[in-house]
Every structure is written in C-alpha cells, then in structure tokens.
Amino acid sequence: MKVLVFNCGSSSIKFKLYQMPEEKVLADGSVQRVGHDDASATVRTDLAIQHIETAILDYPAGFAVIKDLLLDEERGAIGSLSEVAACGHRVVHGGEAFGGSMLVDDELEKGIEAVSELAPLHNPPNLTGIREAERMFGDIPQIACFDTAFHHSIPETAYRYAIPESFYKDLHIRRYGFHGMSHQFVARRAAELLGKHKYAVNVITCHLGNGSSITAVRDGHSVDTSMGLTPLEGLVMGTRSGDLDPGILFFLHRKGYSTTDLDTVLNKKSGLLGLSGTSNDVRDLEERAKKGDKNAALALDIFAYRIRKYIGSYMAVLNRVDGIIFTGGIGENGSDMRARILADMDQLGIELDGQKNKTHIGKTGEIQTDASHVKVFVIPTNEELAIARDTYKMTNS
C-alpha cells in the first residue's frame, strides 16, 4: 500500500510517499514559503526532479501544487489519488491526552486544537495539513503521530516542575519533551544493532541540530528528556538559550525588556548565535574557531559542555547504559563535535575511536574503542519513516 506522510510547518509543507511495507520512498518533496508570491515546490522521484516557483498564498494552494506534481503524467509518482491508502501527519504537541499515534476523527481534531496554546507555531499548521489531506483524499485513514508521545512514559518525578501544584493542575505546566519520534526511532534501531529486544535497552539519545535535545531511555521507554513545556529548555541550541536561571528574565524585565523582547531574545538570538555573535551553524563556527575566533571556540565548547553534563546526569538516572546515540544534522555529521562532547570521559567507561568517528559521517555505525565499556553509535534519524510505519501498522491491524 502507498502511505503519504506530511509535515506541515508555519510556512512549509514537507511530504514523502512510501510503498509499504517495503519502506520504499516513491516521492520526496516540499513546498516552501507558503503565503508568499515567491513560493516554490520540489518533488523528487526515481524518474525526475520537478521544481516550480510560483505564488502559493495558502495551504489549499500548496496542497493543490502537491497534487499536480504527484499526478504529473510524465514524471509523477502516482496515476491517481486513489492509489494513496492512508496519510500520516506529524503533530508537534499532544499535551497529556495523546500518548501515541491515533486515527484522526472529529474528537481528535478538537483535542489537537485544545492543546494548540502549548505549541502555537506548530499545532495550527499541523491541523491545517490534516484537514487539507482529508479534503484532497476523501475517506481514507488519516493518522496523527505526536512528537511528544514517546515522552509520555516519563515519571512524575521527572516531568513535574517545583512550582505551585495549581500551575500543573489548572494550566498543565509540566515537562512534555519533543523530538520524540526521532528519539524513539534511533532507540529502536540501537536495540536492533545491540541484538536486544526494543524494551530491553538503556540508551542515551542525543538529537543534535539547530534544535537539540537529549533523552534517557530505560527499558525502551523515555524516562527523562531535556526539553520541557516548550523546546526552549535544555541544551544550548542554534538560536535558543537552553537552561538558564529564570531570575535573569526578571532582571531583564526590570531593565525594560518586554515579554515579547525576551521571547525573541531567548528563542531567536541566543544559543550558538548569541554566544558567537556571528552564526548558529556549527560548521561555520568550527571554521571560525580554526582561524582564531575566540567567541566561536567558546560557543562550541559551551555547546559540547552542556551535552556532556546531560549525558553524565542521565547515566546516573539510568544506572546501566548500553549505548550513547548521536543523531540529527550535527549528531550524524559532526565528528569534531562528537569528539568535543565525549572528550575525557574514559573514567565513565566512554572512549571514542578517533578514526571510526571521522569515517562515520551520516551513516550508521559504532565509533567507540574496543576498550570502551559503553557503546557509542551514529544513527541517522528518519522521522518520516517512523510516521509511515505507524500509519501502516494502524491501518493494517
């Protein structure tokens, strides 16, 4: 059967068409700059790459372009929309209600809408994508896959904040975590590589990119994760601050910064960009550091230090660690950053093999020495495939 996976953002629509259960990608594409006159759309198949630039002023127009590209007589991936048996959708926030992938119905759509205040930039376009797919494909299963779902197993001791209980009971302020599909995907893949059942592994998964998070996985279940109520908490990221003393916000507010100012600073002007003053891209900063840029070097060191701290704390949480996994754009490709992160951890049983580390760029494999007590993996993530698998499973059960 053919499964079409959608990931709808505030101004983009990403999609992949899979032949399941073979997991073969039949088409891979995106629509960029939805809402603008200078939008574009691209789709890749085994036959060709199609690219157009045109005004795409809203989501219905974006989905219409996707339809035309997929059905193109000469270069399209399908001959009819009826070939698509089900659609899977990435939904960023499921709140406390949705702990797994679910078949979309009216009640589920209302539920996604109800928790949209927890992810105001993500859930509304996710829901719009679901509704457009319903209109385009008619009465076929639509499956919502929640990015927070993997973290529903986190115990209350880890997800509650030390604030008045009414904030949790009435406002649902707690740790939710994100990147759940990525963390779950690589944890399951690590179990396969270790020759263990998926619920028999203890691993620490490091999803490192412009947005970064780290998760402690015990017996195959998430038991702690670095992101919290929002994706702002935790590691230093490309433009996000990560952990900081909340008193800083009160101090800056007294200095005249508005809540809007602070939101912008912490989410868009901090992290690697704020520390370096030049870039949020690790590759750029590594080049600058080699040329003597002290701020770039400091930004990289702080980025690595924060990850190393979390790895150490999660080793204490798990007690037994079968493996540490690097994934995401930086995790999969940044060999120098992986070396920075795991430097001087031999007393914790972690030893990186320099040569293996350098040769494992964007491909699956182990990069620890033979003497290392803890295995270290590079595992490319594939959130779209995770969604396709859940969609196929739920429509064939």
Query: Which residues form the catalytic set?
Result: 147
364 phi and psi, to 5 degrees?
-75, 140
Would strands 375-378 and 323-327 be described as parallel, antiparallel, or unpaired? parallel
Q: Are 358 and 240 in contact (CB under 8 A)?
A: no
Q: What is the DSSP string of 259-278?
A: HHHHHHHHHHS-HHHHHHSS
Q: In angstroms, rounded to a whole number, what is the distance separating the alpha carbons of residues 233 and 151?
A: 15
Q: In angstroms, rounded to a whole number, what is the distance separating the alpha carbons of residues 283 and 208?
A: 13
Cβ-based neighbour number of residue 80 at 10 Å: 8
What is the residue type of 140? I
Q: Which residues contact 134 (CB under 8 A, 6 or more apart)?
A: 104, 142
Distance of CA 83 to the CA centre of its chain: 29
Q: In angstroms, rounded to a whole number, what is the distance separating the alpha carbons of residues 213 and 218?
A: 17
Give the single-character DSSP code of 116. G
Nearest to 386 by CA among 147, 162, 161, 191: 147
H-type alpha helices, the chain = 59-70, 106-114, 123-137, 156-159, 165-171, 180-194, 247-254, 259-268, 271-276, 282-290, 294-318, 328-333, 335-341, 354-359, 383-395
- Residue 352 is encoded by which pair of tokens? 């990186």
Q: In angstroms, rounded to a whole number, what is the distance separating the alpha carbons of residues 316 and 310?
A: 10
Range 352-366 burial, b when 16+ CB lie within 10 A, else e? bbeebbeebeeeeeb
Collapsing DSSP to helix, strand or coil, 347 comes out as helix
Q: In angstroms, rounded to a whole number, what is the distance separating the alpha carbons of residues 24 and 388?
A: 11
Q: In angstroms, rounded to a whole number, what is the distance separating the alpha carbons of residues 42 and 65?
A: 10
Burial class (CB in 10 A: 0-12, 13-18, 19+), 255: exposed
